[in-house]
Amino acid sequence: MQEKFKSYLSSLRLERWPRSLAILPGSIAALFLVKGNLDTNILRTSLEIFIAFLLTLGISVANYIINEIADAPFDKYHPSKKDRPLVKGEISKVVLLILWFVIVFLSLLIAYSYFHTYFLYSLTSLLIAGILYNLKPFRFKDIPFLDSTLESANNPIRFLIGWYVVENSFPSLFLLLSWWFFGNFLMVGKRVAEKKFLTEEESSGYRISLKRYSFKSLVVFMIVNALLFLITFILFLVEFKFYYLFITLPFIIFYLSIFVRKSLKDRDGAEEPERLLRNPIFAIYTLVLVVIFILSYLLQIKG
């Protein structure tokens, strides 16, 4: 009984909870970019952000359940995912669907009761994106270029979820696009690693879109998304006249180059980007980049 419980728990992929922290940039941006939001009650806002995080995690878990069910026939070709409980027949698909319904119902009900309409729309968009990505007749996961583009749409959606905790107006389009392109950059990097390190049988069986890519087209698409991220981020800085933040650009470019190298040389780091933060050097550099960004922002508001 205990082993079966652990198997169901592993299907929820709760270890990926850090991905739901992607709502934080949205909330932080709303606090600092919209005049007057810094005067809000910090304790209450912090509580609301925490609740929004839990709701985002709930919908993300629901999407993982759908992915677990829809991908079971394909995961058997993947060297590590073939050991997932549903693939091995250790758990019931029906029980997973019941869990999905309960989690979605409670998450949307709490969002409807506690937050305003735009927040609910954003949370629902996260759920719809998961359905479009995984389920037929849509299953964008199998369509080259659209697969990573829709998956990375979770980035701006999570940003909006965090933003609407604090602010009702729509954020900067350039900021939202840059966040989307950055997410797509990471997702394409994951596919680059899969294309390089999985065998032809594993890659085409596990992810259908991979056999429709060439390795070169994936690398080019990855670099294009990095450039689009930089362009839209620069346009955002110009829009808000954050000229001091241009100081961060060389450090951001170096940060992107690290991930490109990881995608080409390190399969595990690219397939699960959050694993990179377990590397002390990469974690320290991430912290340094955040500190540089904060100092640049302080220089900007003082200037």
Query: DSSP string covering 71-88, please?
Result: HHHHHTTSTTGGGSTTTT
Among residues 113, 144, 170, which one ends one of the domains? 170
Task: Looking at the structure, tell me whether residues 177 and 294 fall in a common domain.
Answer: yes
pLDDT at 296: 77
Q: What is the mean pLDDT of the chain?
A: 85
| Domain containing residue 51 | 1-170
Task: Looking at the structure, tell me whether residues 10 and 149 fall in a common domain.
Answer: yes
Among residues 129, 150, 170, which one ends one of the domains? 170
Task: Looking at the structure, tell me whether residues 14 and 124 fall in a common domain.
Answer: yes
CA-nearest of 130, 263, 134 to 193 is 263
Task: Looking at the structure, tell me whether residues 151 and 107 fall in a common domain.
Answer: yes
Task: Give the residue-averaged pLDDT of 148-153.
Answer: 93
Task: Looking at the structure, tell me whether residues 230 and 140 fall in a common domain.
Answer: no
Task: Looking at the structure, tell me whether residues 144 and 210 fall in a common domain.
Answer: no
CA distance 225 to 196: 19
Residue 272 predicted with pLDDT over 90: no
Return the DSSP state at 90: -
pLDDT at 201: 67
- The pLDDT tens digits of the residues spanning 69-94 come to 888 877 677 666 777 778 777 788 99
Residue 103 predicted with pLDDT over 90: yes
CB-based contacts of 73, cutoff 8 Å, min separation 6: none
pTM confidence score: 0.86
Among residues 107, 136, 170, which one ends one of the domains? 170
More confident residue, 273 or 103: 103
CA-nearest of 282, 271, 276, 272 to 197 is 271
pLDDT at 39: 67
Task: Looking at the structure, tell me whether residues 80 and 192 fall in a common domain.
Answer: no
CB-based contacts of 43, cutoff 8 Å, min separation 6: none
- SS3 track for 273-284: HHHHHHCHHHHH
What's the total number of domains in the chain? Answer: 2
- The pLDDT tens digits of the residues spanning 105-140 come to 999 999 999 998 999 999 999 999 999 999 988 889
Residue 269 predicted with pLDDT over 60: no
Task: Looking at the structure, tell me whether residues 64 and 131 fall in a common domain.
Answer: yes
Task: Looking at the structure, tell me whether residues 196 and 276 fall in a common domain.
Answer: yes
pLDDT at 267: 57
- The pLDDT tens digits of the residues spanning 204-244 come to 666 777 888 888 999 999 999 999 999 999 999 999 888 88
Report the CATH number at residue 4: 1.10.357.140
Give residue 191's pLDDT band: very low, low, confident or very high (50, 70, 90).
Answer: confident
CA-nearest of 299, 160, 303, 175 to 237 is 175
Task: Looking at the structure, tell me whether residues 299 and 253 fall in a common domain.
Answer: yes
Burial class (CB in 10 A: 0-12, 13-18, 19+), 17: middle
Task: Looking at the structure, tell me whether residues 246 and 284 fall in a common domain.
Answer: yes
| 8-12, 61-65, 144-148, 293-297: segment of lowest average pLDDT | 293-297
Task: Give the residue-averaged pLDDT of 176-197.
Answer: 89
